């Protein structure tokens, strides 16, 4: 029997606009191109779009141009102002979006920003999903991201092929519009609270005279073991703060999470304290480092370095 060639796990080749080719968007767009989709690429700094287009796809001069022919438009930009810029400004997506098209916003923004953009798109006959991700640039490049989806369930079903098996290893439908955005804020605040726990523990260990590497191994051999510790611990202990997720973006997410908590009257004492740690790190010039570099705030105050000794 002839062997079927598994060129792609995606079900159909689609015409896609992709807007925002930063650390995460670059990998996602490259994955879509590799899997056979026709992708029109826009980035504010054009050189990044040209670099991705060397793999396939074509460069668009504006978000409007990227969206003109597209049945699906992805946005993967920094924050709410960037999202408003690429959707609502002159030459934004709203100028050309086709009725029936689906905009999938994978940026981490506030639920309010999502609702505002979804409303504007609806007036043009288009739909929107808030579909933020977990995973880093490596998972974006290999199509292994996790998606948290908010929006109309039927719209989600209509583009499912782009999530699981294409860009992602999982895509969880969370609920109506804005719920994906809420879920992402919950995800990131939880990670930061956990990492702060590890940072504080290792800093105390170092100050007491324990090899932080040994302490980390002990923690990972017991109930304290956690995925985020597994991911960040080794690089922290080697003093490698190359950005997988820049501190400035996590700082933005924690602010959005605090705003959401205030709006819903939910007390978040640990989150409030950790936001201060992030503000200190920002003020100390660590914005472009990986967010795990917040440990330096503790180190400076304690007068120790958390580095594996053996
Ligand atoms: P990056 O690598 O900082 O990329 C951010 C992208 O957003 C990049 O393409 C930027 O264009 C674009 N951007 C930022 N501001 C604007 C405005 N005002 N107009 C148009 N485009 C803009 O971030 P990541 O890829 O790591 O993360 C993206 C999202 O996922 C973010 O919400 C994270 O929290 C999660 P540039 O290249 O600077 O011209």
Q: Do 116 and 191 fall into the same domain? A: no
In this structure, the answer to whether residues 24 and 162 fall within a common structural domain is yes
Which atom belonging to ligand 1 lies closest to the Cα atom of 20? 9
List, for residues 256-280, the tens digit of each pLDDT value: 999 999 999 999 999 999 999 999 9
In ligand 1, the atom with minimum distance to the C-alpha of 246 is 26
Contact 179, 108 (CB under 8 A): no
Residue 98 lies in a domain: yes
Does residue 309 lie in a domain region?
no
> Over the chain, what is the mean pLDDT?
95
pTM above 0.85, yes or no: yes
Burial 166-202 (b: 16+ CB within 10 A, else e): bbbeebebbeebbbbbbbbbebbbebbbbbbbbbebb
Of 60, 78, 105, 146, the one to substitute when testing ligand 1's pocket (max ligand atoms within 8 A of C-beta) is: 78
**What distance in angstroms lies between residue 209's CA and the mean position of ligand 1's atoms?**
42
Domain boundary among 112, 145, 177: 177
- Residue 267 located in a structural domain: yes
Q: Pick from 114, 145, 177: which residue ends a domain? A: 177
Q: Do residues 242 and 281 share a domain?
A: yes
Same domain assignment for residues 162 and 194 = no
Same domain, 218 and 279: yes
Report whether pLDDT(5) > 50. Answer: no
User: How many folded domains does the chain comprise?
Assistant: 2
* 296 plus 227 within the same structural domain: yes
Asked if residue 283 and residue 173 are part of one domain, the reply reads: no
Closest ligand 1 atom number to CA of residue 77: 7
Q: Is residue 44 part of a domain?
A: yes
Residue 107's pLDDT is what? Answer: 98
> What residue owns the CA closest to ligand 1's atom 8?
22
Give yes or no: residues 76 and 161 share one domain. yes
Ligand 1 closest atom vs CA 81? 18
Q: How far is the CA of 77 from the centre of ligand 1 (A)?
A: 4
Percent of the chain topping pLDDT 70: 96
Is the pLDDT at 310 greater than 90, yes or no?
Answer: no
CA–centroid distance, residue 44 to ligand 1 (Å): 9
pLDDT of residue 6: 43
User: How far does residue 119's CA lie from ligand 1's centre (Å)?
Assistant: 22
- 20-25: average pLDDT: 96
Ligand 1 mean position, distance from CA 24 (Å): 8
Q: Examine residue 310 and state whether it is found in any structural domain, yes or no.
A: no
For residue 248, give both structure tokens. 């400035």
**Residue written as tokens 């992709």?**
18
Are 161 and 203 within one domain?
no
- The three-state (H, E, C) secondary structure of the chain, written as one string: CCCCCCCCCCCCCCEEEEECCCHHHHHHHHHHHHCCCEEEEECCCHHHHHHHHCCCCEECCCHHHHHHCCCEEEECCCCHHHHHHHHHCCCCHHHCCCCCCEEEECCCCCHHHHHHHHHHHHCCCCEEEECCEECCHHHHHHCCEEEEEECCHHHHHHCHHHCECCCEEEEEEEECCCHHHHHHHHHHHHHHHHHHHHHHHHHHHHHHCCCHHHHHHHHHCCCCCCHHHHHHHHHHHCCCCCCCCEHHHHHHHHHHHHHHHHHCCCCCHHHHHHHHHHHHHHHCCCCCCEHHHHHHHHHHHHCCCCCCCC
Give the whole-angstrom CA distance, residue 164 versus residue 121: 25
User: Is residue 131's pLDDT more than 70?
Assistant: yes
Closest residue by CA, ligand 1 atom 1: 22
Residue nearest to atom 18 of ligand 1 (CA): 82
Domain co-membership, 161 together with 280: no
Q: Which atom of ligand 1 is nearest to the CA of 21?
A: 9
Whether the Cβ atoms of residue 72 and residue 32 lie closer than 8 Å to each other: no
Q: From the candidates 35, 48, 137, 184, which is the catalytic residue?
A: 184
- 184 carries an active-site annotation: yes
How far apart are the C-alpha atoms of 86 and 220, rounded to whole Å?
A: 43
User: What confidence tier does 12 reach under pLDDT thresholds 50, 70, 90?
Assistant: confident
Range of the domain at 240: 185-302
Mean pLDDT of 210-235: 97
Residues 38-89: pLDDT tens digits? 999 999 999 999 999 999 999 999 999 999 999 999 999 999 999 999 999 9
Cβ atoms of 163 and 155 closer than 8 Å = no
Q: What is the pLDDT of residue 11?
A: 61
Which residue, chain included where needed, has tokens 């079927």?
4
> Pocket residues for ligand 1 (CB within 6 Å)?
20-25, 43-45, 48, 76-79, 81-82, 85-86, 107-108, 249, 253
| 27 CA from centroid of ligand 1 (Å) | 13
190-211: per-residue pLDDT in tens? 999 999 999 999 999 999 999 9
What phi and psi values does residue 253 have, to the nearest 5 degrees? -65, -40
Which residue, 138, 161, 177, sits at the end of a domain?
177
Instruction: Indicate if 101 and 219 belong to the same structural domain.
Output: no
Residue 69 inside a domain? The answer is: yes
Is position 307 within any domain? no
Residue with tokens 């609702």: 115
Averaged over 12-37, what is the pLDDT?
A: 96
By most ligand atoms within 8 Å of CB, the mutation choice from 18, 22, 46 for ligand 1 is 22
Long-range pairs for 118-124 at CB < 8 Å and ≥24 separation?
118/151, 118/177, 120/87, 120/88, 120/94, 121/87, 121/93, 121/94, 121/97, 124/94, 124/97, 124/99
Q: Is residue 308 part of a domain?
A: no
Where does the pLDDT of residue 10 fall: very low under 50, low under 70, confident under 90, or very high at 90 and above? low
Instruction: Render pLDDT for 141-185 as a digit per residue (tens, 0 to 9).
Output: 999 999 999 999 999 999 999 999 899 999 999 999 999 999 999
53 and 154: one domain?
yes
Say which CATH number the domain at 69 has. Answer: 3.40.50.720
For range 128-144, the mean pLDDT: 96
């Amino acid at each position: 029997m002839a062997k079927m060639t598994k060129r792609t796990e995606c079900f159909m080749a689609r015409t896609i606009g992709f807007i925002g080719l930063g650390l995460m968007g670059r990998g996602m767009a490259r994955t879509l191109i590799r899997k056979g989709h026709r992708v029109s690429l826009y980035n504010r700094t054009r050189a990044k779009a040209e670099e991705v287009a060397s793999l396939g796809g074509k460069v668009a001069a504006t978000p409007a141009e990227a969206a003109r022919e597209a049945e699906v438009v992805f946005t993967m930009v920094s924050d709410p102002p960037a999202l408003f810029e690429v959707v609502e400004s002159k030459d934004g997506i709203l100028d050309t979006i086709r009725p029936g098209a689906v905009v999938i916003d994978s940026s981490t923004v506030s639920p309010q920003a999502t609702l505002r953009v979804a409303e504007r798109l609806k007036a043009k006959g288009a739909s929107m999903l808030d579909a933020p991700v977990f995973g880093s640039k490596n998972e974006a490049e290999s199509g292994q991201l996790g998606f948290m989806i908010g929006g109309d369930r039927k719209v989600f079903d209509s583009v499912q092929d782009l999530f699981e098996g294409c860009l992602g290893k999982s895509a969880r439908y969370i609920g109506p519009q804005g719920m994906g955005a809420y879920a992402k804020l919950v995800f990131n605040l939880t990670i930061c609270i956990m990492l702060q726990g590890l940072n504080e523990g290792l800093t105390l260990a170092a100050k007491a005279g324990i090899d932080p590497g040994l302490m980390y191994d002990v923690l990972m051999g017991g109930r304290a073991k956690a995925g985020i510790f597994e991911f960040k611990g080794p690089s922290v202990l080697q003093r490698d703060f190359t950005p997988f997720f820049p501190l400035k973006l996590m700082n933005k997410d924690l602010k959005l999470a605090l705003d959401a908590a205030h709006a819903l009257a939910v007390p978040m004492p640990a989150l409030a304290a950790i936001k201060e740690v992030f503000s200190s790190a920002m003020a100390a010039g660590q914005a472009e480092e990986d967010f795990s570099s917040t440990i330096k705030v503790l180190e400076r105050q304690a007068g120790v370095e958390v580095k594996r000794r053996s």
